[in-house]
Structure 1
Amino acid sequence: MRHNTTIKVASVAAAMAFTLAACSTSSETESESTDSAASSSSAEAGSSTDELSVAFIQGVIGDNFYISMECGVRAAAEDLGGIDVSVQGGQKWDPALQQPIVASVMATSPDAILIAPNDISALQRPLEEAAEGSEIVLVDTTVEDPSFAVSEIASDNVGGGAAAFAAIKEMVPDGGQVLVIDNQPGISTSDARVQGFEEAVNADDSFEYVGVQYAKNEPAKAAEIVTSTLQRYPDLKAIFATNIFSAEGAATGIEQAGVAGEVQVVGFDAGPAQVEALEDGTVQALIAQQPYQIGYQGVEQAVAALKGEPTEAKIQTGFSIITKETLGTEEGQAALYASTC
């Protein structure tokens, strides 16, 4: 294995060579020399895990989902023995911004990199190159060919999309027109959420699916999408927003259009803005992921790989459905995302 967990025995070998050359050396001196070398080797081996470094590259900086994931990363690093953690992230969800961050992290030669790739294609080659010097764990999102990674850890996003439709069906039992607002195509997690939602809604004749539109992580764009869609589909009954920024913008658009309470919104994720929208009734349900667990398990998988221990190729974490009624419960509070660690 290429990492610093290998026990170095060079000092022992040197001591043995010296003993063979110096025939007049007493057996006591030989014993002391050998014991000293062995102690040095053991000290190196024992401290190797304490010197491990893990770089966490967030999908986008300042996102409560990734802040919660960072909390899990840091907690696991502490629990597993004081592993050094560094955190970076782009100001926007943009592969053009993330690629130079990957290059910068590679230059520091961390033992492991946890990353949420911004694009399934654009980050493929950069991460393959990074895997030549670091163990790679893909968290939340993935790439086209993740075979270089020791593990992929993400929510059951197809199931989450289906759950979002189930929540809408509960709130709109008579059916109607429904819209999806996504970030952008080519993001593995939100693509899966859309897939799960579309499969569910297309199997129910009481609902008309008016399609998916992309807000590119810009709440203002999501708000514009809502207002323009309402002009075209005035009988719109519900919206599924696949991430934090889409849900935030959808809530704003509904308020601006004056149809709060008439158009139901199910958001994905449970950041402060979404919780506020849930409390004031603009958003009626949230599908909360478990980012803390994704981060924690990501470090566990990286360390296992560094130690030469078995790893899990793919791990799926669960989610919770939060409504205004369940928000105040212990389970509901535990599902909310963190603002700081």
Structure 2
Amino acid sequence: MRKLWKQGLAVCSAAVLVLGLAACGDTKQESKEKDKSASAGNESASSDFDPADYPVAISMDNMNHPVHRIVQMGFLKAAEKLGYTNAKVIGTEGTDSAENFAAAEAFSAEGGKGLLLWAGDSSSYPTIAKCAAAGTVVGIPHFNHQQEDGSYPEGLAFNMACNPKTYGKDVADLMAEKLDGKEGTIALTQNTKNVTENNATQAFRDEWEVMKDKYKLDKIKILDTQLEGGVIDQATAINLAIIQSNQDLIGAFGTTGNSPITWADAAAKAGKKDGEVFIAGMDATEGNLDYLEAGKVQALVAQPLYDEAYKTMEYLDTIFRGGTVPEWTDLEAPIVTKEGTDKNGIAYHRDIAKQVQEFFK
């Protein structure tokens, strides 16, 4: 499998490591599973079907980011299990989405049959259409691309994600319980302004108002949402400035994969003790889990990074074999705490993080 990874790296251009991750997509139509629900189409496939004849790839930017490594591992492990020996990672190590899309289009033009495209906004739509027209089956996990009329972009075979409104609400519920009766401010930060992160922070705000009927929260103010970006040092400095401007800060929710670390480090630099600021952020990566276990962070939103990529490859396989899959699949993002168990606990996600380290040695 490492051979497949190296093969994918050869396609990519070198650049800086920055997080371009936006959290998961909103699901406006949970009933959109339609009658297109996953079928047992494997039985209808040609008896001479050979997965080795089907090149597949996962195309994304920020290829070496630990969050994205989890996604890559899920896709490549599924490909290996299903017999797809021509599977690779393509895209770019930097943040230029145009390079990612160019790599996807090149893969398609060279005969690529299946593609997991990591794309969070409409700038990807021309690429999706172009790849599909060339005969490549394109699936997108993590980001919801459902349009206002319920349709999906031209050429997109399927889409899956967790719901940022759900985990934004879940974080608000947990923080409201922990901050019951206290006084101070809460900060919300995002990587960029985008539909996914916007929905997460707005859902937090909306749920906070609901929680006022259950807990004593009237003396807690939620600050305007700020952009911390994806570079750790810069984000830490931005969050430190927020704390310095709001010395009564008692809570922070960041929607980037680095936000647990950037908020915890900012709090430490501001002289705050571990746990003095209730910090919640995205992704159960190794570094974030370390901070959670040490008590520097209180909650992590565990986006289903591995599961969504693994399932994307399974969906591609089903389609190749003549089956059908749901146009939309709704996924769960558990909230991980130090006291949690199973998918809500540290051990479960430690195991996935360990697998990533071993996989990409």
User: Does the pair score TM above 0.5?
Assistant: yes
Distance 1:316 1:163 in 2: 16
User: Which residue number corresponds to residue 293 of structure 1?
Assistant: 307
- TM-superposed CA distance for 1:131, in Å, is 1.6
Q: Which among 298, 301, 315 is matched to residue 284 of structure 1?
A: 298
Paired position in structure 1 for 2:170: 163
CA shift, 1:147, in A, is: 4.4
Give distance in 1, aligned partners of 2:330 and 2:50. Answer: 30
Please name the residue that 1:235 is paired with.
Answer: 248
Give me the whole-angstrom Cα distance separating, in 1, the residues matched to 2:189 and 2:133: 37
User: Alpha-carbon deviations, 1:104-158, whole Å to 9, x = none?
Assistant: 33333210110110x4122121222112121100011244643421111212222
Retained in 1: the 8 A contact 2:57–2:89?
yes
- Cα distance in 1 for partners of 2:162, 2:270 equals 33
CA, structure 1 residues 50+95, in 2 after alignment: closer, same or farther (shift >3 Å)? closer
Equivalents in 1 of 2:209, 2:102: separation in Å?
A: 41
- Structure 1, 81-90 or 329-338: larger mean CA deviation: 329-338
**C-alpha distance in 1, partners of 2:305/2:65?**
11
Answering whether residue 101 of structure 2 is matched by residue 99 of structure 1, we say yes
Query: Shift in Å at residue 253 of structure 1?
Result: 0.9
Which residue is equivalent to 1:174?
Answer: 181
Contiguous gaps of at least 5 residues in structure 2? 1-45
Separation in structure 2 between the aligned mates of residue 330 and residue 297 of structure 1, nearest angstrom: 20
Q: Which residue of 2 aligns with 1:317?
A: 331
Tell me the alpha carbon deviations over residues 72-115 of structure 1, each in whole angstroms, 9 at most, x when there is no partner: 21222123233421112433444244233333333332101101
Residue of structure 1 in register with 2:37 after alignment: none
Match of 1:86 in 2: 88
**Distance in 2, Cα, partners of 1:250 & 1:183:** 13
User: Which whole-Å deviations, capped at 9, do the CAs of 1:204-224 have from their partners, x for residues lacking one?
Assistant: 442422121112211122212
Compute the TM-score of the two structures, normalised by the length of structure 1: 0.79
Contact 1:142/1:152 (<8 A) preserved: yes
Cα distance per residue 1:259-305 (max 9 Å; x no partner): 13321101111111111111222111111122121011101111222
Report the equivalent of 2:285: 271
CA distance in 2: counterparts of 1:83 and 1:195, whole angstroms: 43
CA distance in 2, matches of 1:189, 1:195: 10
Q: CA deviation at 1:308?
A: 3.0
Contact 1:56 1:113 in 2 (8 A): yes
Tell me which of the two structures has the higher relative contact order, counting C-alpha pairs closer than 8 angstroms and 6 or more residues apart: 2
Alignment of 1:301-340 (within 5 A): 301-326=315-340, 331-336=345-350, 337-338=352-353, 339-340=356-357
Distance 1:160 1:94, change over 3 A: farther
- Tell me which amino acid in the other structure corresponds to 1:237: I
Q: State the distance in 1 between where 2:170 and 2:252 align.
A: 13
Amino acid paired to 1:247: P
Q: Residue 153 of structure 2 is aligned with which of 146, 158, 164?
A: 146
Correspondence list, 1:25-44, <5 A: none
Consecutive unaligned residues in structure 1, runs of 5 or more: 1-43
Contact 1:181-1:222 at 8 Å conserved across structures: no
One-letter identity of the residue aligned with 2:52: D
8 Å CA contact 1:116, 1:142 repeated in 2 = no
Instruction: Tell me if 1:197 matches 2:211.
Output: no
Distance 1:69 1:287 in 2: 15
Match runs of 1:2-17 below 5 Å: none
Aligned partner of 1:250 in structure 2 is 263
Q: Give the deviation of 1:201 after TM superposition.
A: 2.2
**Structural RMSD (CA):** 2.4
Equivalent position SS for 1:298: helix
Relative to structure 1, the CA distance from residue 180 to residue 92 in structure 2 (aligned partners, 3 Å threshold; closer, same or farther) is farther
Aligned length: 296
